[in-house]
Amino acid sequence: MSASQTDPLLLLRQSIAAGSPCIPATTEDASSASSVDLSLARATYLQFSSPVSTSIPLNTPTRFISSDKPVDLRSIYFAWLKRETAIPEYNASALSLNAELASAGGAGGEVQNLAFVERLDLITWLEGASEESEHIRPLKEDTSAAAASAQVAAGVKGGIAPVSSGKPGAGKTIDPRLQEIYNGERKMGDRNSVLRGIKPTDFSHVRKMAAPFNARKAAQAAAAAAASSTTLAHNPKAPPARRPEPIIMLSPSASSLLRMSNAKSFLETGIYVPPDSGSMPSASNALLKMSRLIPSVDPIKPINFAVVDTPERFKPEYWSRVVAVFTTGQAWQFKSYKWQQPQDLFKHTLGVYIGFRGDQTPDTVRGWGRGVMSVQVDKWNPGQGPAGRWRDREVVEGIWKAVEENMRSKGWRKESGPIGA
């Protein structure tokens, strides 16, 4: 089988797309019921039935890279199983599984905790919502064709064999006049045999003549690179880098009107439903993915946003990607942020306070200045339901307009993230 048919990441993605279950097993052959073990702590293989029937060891390194090292298949499959689990529960489950792996009867090893952005990137790719990932290395291409081409270029094999003019065939009678014509033919070959020649040629004198020119050219290139190094990062003609996903932070407070359970409904569909209304999921997701067209950044393709309510396991560079922070006016929300003082935080990103129409905006929010946008939604009426929420969309459009202005001012572009990201 080719490398693409045995790659564990591709097999897992194709199985998810086909709706075919992956079965943890204790042996390579999972055909017998005794070998099937749904516990990742004891299983040593992952059985795939689609697109091909094969078993891959769970400790196999994959092309997904975290902290400069490949993540094994067990950790990848564990992250997929826990894709809708909150971050604290995901961390607790990883610790529990590692303890089972190390105990008597366990398979050994340990699962690797992935940062929330890494998990989001992985889950997006596995679900097929994205065709590329900054954490996944490309498959190694089959080098047989390249090796064959190299051998042909080196003259080892291949090419067109020279025509033998004097040996038209054994045991065959040749007319003397035709034989004379054959003897006068010029032997031909392919471009490799012609360019190679029949004797080695010493070109060392050419190298000596070119040395001063090469040295002068290298010095000029180094000087030009040093002169343009300060503006290279913002050169519009430079090759574009892959744009990271912007991040929206929610408040983890139980009094917040917008939480992980109802944020997607509000920000994507423009309908506010209270998180505890009964129509919203009771268990909030650890990560939310939503998309929105931001015309001034990319007028054609919607931008994917990551929504989270805690900066746990944030890397330092993630903070430059935060484009909005929703707050209830409680300063304790920011104690684990990079900028713990609200005045400093809202100099670097947009703040959004959501309250009910007719209620007073808290004094703390007003004291944080123009960096915090205050909006109001109608109070929930169970009798009307979503049908009476026609004013919510206007509020949502105002929020996205402020997010767009903030992203544009921070340097978000079609092919790149914020300046300094």
Q: Sketch the domain layout of the chain as residue ranges.
A: 3-126, 247-409
pLDDT given for residue 159 in this prediction: 45
Three-class DSSP labels, 216-280: HHHHHHHHHHHHHCCCHHHCCCCCCCCCCCCEEECCCCCCCCCCCCCHHHHHHHCCCCCCCCCCC
Rounded CA separation 198/138 (Å):
42
Q: Return the pLDDT at 228.
A: 58
> CB burial class (10 A; 0-12, 13-18, 19+) of residue 271?
middle
Q: How far apart are CA 418 and CA 246, in angstroms?
A: 9
**Predicted structure pTM score:** 0.50
Say which residue the tokens 């309908």 belong to.
271
Distance CA 399, CA 270 (A): 11
Q: Which two tokens stand for residue 267?
A: 């920000």
CB-based contacts of 241, cutoff 8 Å, min separation 6:
415, 416, 417
CATH of 247-409, one of 3.40.50.11990, 3.30.420.40, 3.10.20.80, 3.40.630.10: 3.40.50.11990
367-384 burial, b if ≥16 CB within 10 A, otherwise e?
ebeebbbebbbbebeeee
Q: How far apart are CA 270 and CA 259, in angstroms?
A: 15
Give the separation between CA 60 and CA 80, rounded to whole angstroms.
Answer: 16
**Closest-CA residue to 324 (of 247, 243, 209, 219):** 247
Whether the ω angle into residue 70 lies within 30 degrees of 0, i.e. cis, is no
Q: 10 Å Cβ neighbour count for 304?
A: 17
Low-confidence ranges of the chain (pLDDT < 70): 1-2, 4, 30-35, 37, 141-173, 187-204, 226-241, 278-285, 420-421
Q: What is the CA radius of gyration of the chain?
A: 32
